[in-house]
Amino acid sequence: MAAAPFAPTRPTAGRVVGGVALLALAAVLAHLATVVPGTPRTAVVVVGVASIVVTAVSLMVLHRGHNSAKYLAAGVLWGLGAVVAGLLPDLDLGPFPLSHVVFALGELGALAVLLQLLVRARAGSDDPPLVVDALMLGSALITLGWDAFARTGHSGTGGENAATLLVVVAASLVAGSAVALGVEQPRLRVSATGLTVNGVATAVVAVCLPHDVAIAGVAAALAMAGGIVGLLTLPRDGVVRHGGADAERAARRLEVASLIPGPVLLVDILLLVVFPRADPVLFATFITVLVTFTIRHAATARSIDRTTAHLKFLALHDALTGLGNRTLLERALTGPDHDQSLVLLELVGLDDVNDVLGVSAGDALIRAAAEEVLLVVGDLDGSAYRTGGDQIAVVLRGDPAHCLRHAESLIAAITTAPAKVAGAGRFPLTAVAGVAGRAPDGTDPDAVGDVMAPFVQADIALRDAKHLGGGAVSVYSGTVAVEHARRGLMRERLALAVAEGGVDVHYQPVVSFTTGRVDKFEALARWEDPVLGRISPVEFIAIAEESNLVVALGEHVLRHAVQWAYEAGVFSVGVGLAVNVSVVQLQSPGFADIVREILDQYRIAPHLLTLELTESVFLDEDSPAERVVTELAGLGCQIAIDDFGTGYSAFGYLGRLPVHVLKIDRSLTQSLTDDVNGQSVVTCVVDLANRLGLSVVVEGVETQQQADICRFISAPLGQGWLYSPAVPRELLGEQLAHVYPVPDALGLEDETRVPATEF
């Protein structure tokens, strides 16, 4: 991935200093031209024009960037109007002296330019930063109106002043409200309203000060309050809202917006110098404008710095966790130090929290996990990045073999995260990790020309780890890559086998410890690929689950098994059938309908069909999968918990949900004869099941001793090689012989029966 281009366009310090120095020069020139007594008119004109030129140049220097020509034109028109007006003798034109008319023309020119900017800004206003432009233009408009008023109003009669005041107030109100109403963001709207109040109240002060100090005082307070509200609520982070891809554009827009008060302020300074004999009211209000704009400009400049810093941060960091993003990771992997490894961590168990507690709890959990990771990484002098929704990358010093240990510590740290999020404590969180090294320059052909090679390799290792299950760490190696390729091929071949019915079903009896009678048969999928050979279901079911293929595969096994059991007369002698169901199947729409359809088709007593599920299904309270389980139990099917004792062993769901059978995992059966604890665990589970009215199947019974213990602790049913492995239908006759009574339909000879007492 290429680094996101990010080039904030704020003028450099040198440019600002240069621009300001030029402006100061312009101000001095203008001052000299107008205040030195006896200066000839031609000199005033020449110096005035020179000051305009210098202003223009300084504006260009300061505003180099977007729309600089427009801003420049606005500044020049305005200043030109002002200087020419200052030079003209005041001819009596009634309420409109000539100099004011010329000045007003200059202001109108400036206004036209600024309005055009406003309209352009509005036209493409799907972009929130444009609102900032509009707001600033609106406030400039208000000040322009006010300036025009102050210059015509200060020498007029009370009636003229009042009339002009009305016009200015109305114009300010319209402009300000238009901006305020056109803004979606509440913060910007408040800001626009505050500035409107400020403009209107300032106009009132200008008119009332000589006549009515009390009203002027109230208006001044209002102006100040409005100004403060407007300034304080000026958009600081409003622009950053959308961040991300538009970050750079947003930063530029914000800068352009912030420059708009610039010309207004500068021209005001200029006017202040050009009209040194202005009356105290005008002078005071000029000062107000100057101060207001200085503050506003400073506030905006500060907000630009902050926003730019924020945007820069956003461009390189993940907003949720504050960890670096892929761009930063890329940089870390291109540093001069090659003795580095990349650990790619993927959180396992996050979905449960997202599903049950909601996405915000999931976010909090990711944040907590990131904090834990940072603690470990800080100790190891490494760095951490968020590279995907549930993926965190860590760069550490040292080779992969060395970092394997650290990966384990990172996973251990992540498992403590749920305790720190309200309500998430009951959801176990873990992670899997893939580790890959940054090969020394040039020695790894894969690494040449691709800085992200370690990322790709760590990702392959991560998938390998995922395959091994929660908590696993896998280090990238040639073997891992070969394994990765093999699994890719397997996925393809399996899809083909599922589509063409190449997946077979074998059956293993579940037997009563006391009577020796077959209680049911468990259907187990078998797949032998012409190219890859025989593959263990542990492997191909996992692959099928990753790629959703398990939905079709599971349905195939279910239909196949039920059809066999029906045709062999298994159901008619009261013997059941157990089928494994993946959680992915439960989550796929219409699974319960398929089961219902099959039950109807073969008219099976529903209790003869057992659906074996793993505990993971029951972790999410109220999850869709749980609702499907309830529906299946509602059909009358038996629900069995497979591999009981290996998973989360959170017993809560046993009371909550319709479960009928616990299948004690093979590993616990093994421990029956190996250690005393094992025996007591199995005894406890059997007791628990008895108390809850559940049946128990002890899996993986391989020895007579194990069977004896099972019988001793009153476990009702067992399954394992002691009785029979899973066999194809053709070889099932022998197992069926254990069914009492043997129905003729099965076509078995009486002599083949094995007495129950053998168990």
Min. distance of Cβ 566 from Ca ion in angstroms?
21
Q: Which is nearer to ligand C2E, 136 or 581 (CB)?
A: 581
Min. distance of Cβ 431 from Ca ion in angstroms?
25
Q: Which of Ca ion, ligand C2E, none lies near 524, with the C-beta cut-off 5 to 8 A by kind?
A: ligand C2E
**Any contact of residue 536 with ligand C2E (CB under 6 A)?**
yes
The helix (H) or strand (E) run that includes residue 616 is: none
Q: Which is nearer to Ca ion, 118 or 717 (CB)?
A: 717
Among residues 530, 538, 749, 751, the one that binds ligand C2E under rule CB under 6 A: 538
**Any contact of residue 706 with ligand C2E (CB under 6 A)?**
no
Q: Which is nearer to Ca ion, 390 or 699 (CB)?
A: 699
- The span of 80-88, 218-226, 414-422, 697-705 binding ligand C2E (CB under 6 A) equals 697-705
- The span of 225-233, 575-583, 738-746, 750-758 binding ligand C2E (CB under 6 A) equals 575-583
- Give the dihedral sign, CA 446/452/454/459: negative
Among residues 325, 508, 610, 638, the one that binds ligand C2E under rule CB under 6 A: 508
- Cβ 78 vs Cβ 267: under 8 Å: yes
Calculate ∠ Cα 640-645-648, nearest 5°: 95
Question: How many other CB atoms are found less than 10 A from the CB of residue 490?
Answer: 20
Among residues 430, 580, 610, 695, the one that binds ligand C2E under rule CB under 6 A: 580
Sheet holding 391-397, edge to edge: 383-388, 391-397, 340-348, 430-437, 473-475
Torsion (CA) 365, 369, 374, 380 in degrees, nearest 10: 180
Q: Which is nearer to ligand C2E, 342 or 557 (CB)?
A: 557
Question: How many other CB atoms are found less than 10 A from the CB of residue 231?
Answer: 18
- Cβ 137 vs Cβ 114: under 8 Å: yes
End-to-end CA distance of the chain: 65
Q: Which is nearer to ligand C2E, 117 or 641 (CB)?
A: 641
CA distance 85 to 277: 14
Among residues 27, 196, 643, 723, the one that binds Ca ion under rule CB under 5 A: 643
Rama region for 526: left / alpha / beta (φ>0; ψ in -120 to 50; rest): beta
Among residues 618, 720, 737, 739, the one that binds ligand C2E under rule CB under 6 A: 720
The helix (H) or strand (E) run that includes residue 532 is: none
CA distance 463 to 406: 19
Binding to ligand C2E in span 642-661, by CB under 6 A: 642-643
Q: Which of ligand C2E, Ca ion, none lies near 288, with the C-beta cut-off 5 to 8 A by kind?
A: none
- The span of 251-259, 464-472, 567-575, 640-648 binding Ca ion (CB under 5 A) equals 640-648
Q: Which is nearer to ligand C2E, 150 or 550 (CB)?
A: 550
Min. distance of Cβ 706 from Ca ion in angstroms?
15
Q: Which of Ca ion, ligand C2E, none lies near 525, with the C-beta cut-off 5 to 8 A by kind?
A: ligand C2E
- The span of 64-72, 287-295, 346-354, 549-557 binding ligand C2E (CB under 6 A) equals 549-557
- Per DSSP bridges, beta strands 695-698 and 638-644 are unpaired
Binding to ligand C2E in span 602-641, by CB under 6 A: 612
CA distance 736 to 746: 8
Contacts (Cβ under 8 Å, ≥6 apart) of 278: 154, 272, 286
| Residue indicated by tokens 């939905």 | 551
The residue type of 291 is: V
Q: Which is nearer to ligand C2E, 188 or 577 (CB)?
A: 577
Binding to ligand C2E in span 353-382, by CB under 6 A: none
- The span of 7-15, 90-98, 449-457, 720-728 binding ligand C2E (CB under 6 A) equals 720-728
SS (H, E, C) 147-198: HHHHHHHCCCCHHHHHHHHHHHHHHHHHHHHHHHHHCCCHHHHHHHHHHHHH
Secondary structure (DSSP) of 41-104:
HHHHHHHHHHHHHHHHHHHHHHH-STTHHHHHHHHHHHHHHHHHHHHS-----TTS-HHHHHHH
**Any contact of residue 457 with Ca ion (CB under 5 A)?**
no
Instruction: Report how far apart, in Å, the C-alpha atoms of 1 and of each of 4, 327, 330, 333, 387 are.
Output: 9, 7, 8, 13, 12
Among residues 524, 592, 639, 739, the one that binds ligand C2E under rule CB under 6 A: 524
- The span of 171-179, 247-255, 491-499, 694-702 binding ligand C2E (CB under 6 A) equals 694-702
Q: How many residues bind ligand C2E (CB under 6 A)?
A: 25
Nearest one of 720, 668, 664 to 689, comparing CA atoms: 664
- The span of 374-382, 591-599, 601-609, 696-704 binding ligand C2E (CB under 6 A) equals 696-704
Min. distance of Cβ 632 from ligand C2E in angstroms?
14
Among residues 206, 410, 525, 732, the one that binds ligand C2E under rule CB under 6 A: 525
Q: Which is nearer to Ca ion, 464 or 643 (CB)?
A: 643
Six-digit token string for 534: 């025989």
Binding to Ca ion in span 566-585, by CB under 5 A: 580
Question: How many other CB atoms are found less than 10 A from the CB of residue 89?
Answer: 7
**Any contact of residue 318 with Ca ion (CB under 5 A)?**
no
**Any contact of residue 719 with Ca ion (CB under 5 A)?**
no
Among residues 65, 537, 636, 647, the one that binds ligand C2E under rule CB under 6 A: 537
Among residues 133, 390, 555, 642, the one that binds Ca ion under rule CB under 5 A: 642
**Any contact of residue 446 with ligand C2E (CB under 6 A)?**
no
Nearest one of 601, 595, 598 to 633, comparing CA atoms: 595
Binding mask 678-717 for Ca ion (x = CB under 5 A): ---------------------x------------------
- The span of 168-176, 339-347, 386-394, 574-582 binding ligand C2E (CB under 6 A) equals 574-582
Six-digit token string for 58: 């300084």
Nearest one of 724, 693, 743, 691 to 516, comparing CA atoms: 724
Min. distance of Cβ 504 from Ca ion in angstroms?
16
What is the length of the chain? 759
**Any contact of residue 509 with ligand C2E (CB under 6 A)?**
no
Binding residues for ligand C2E (CB under 6 A): 508, 524-525, 536-538, 541, 550, 554, 557, 580-582, 612, 642-643, 666, 699-702, 719-721, 726
Instruction: Give the footprint of Ca ion on this chain (CB under 5 A).
Output: 580, 612, 642-643, 699
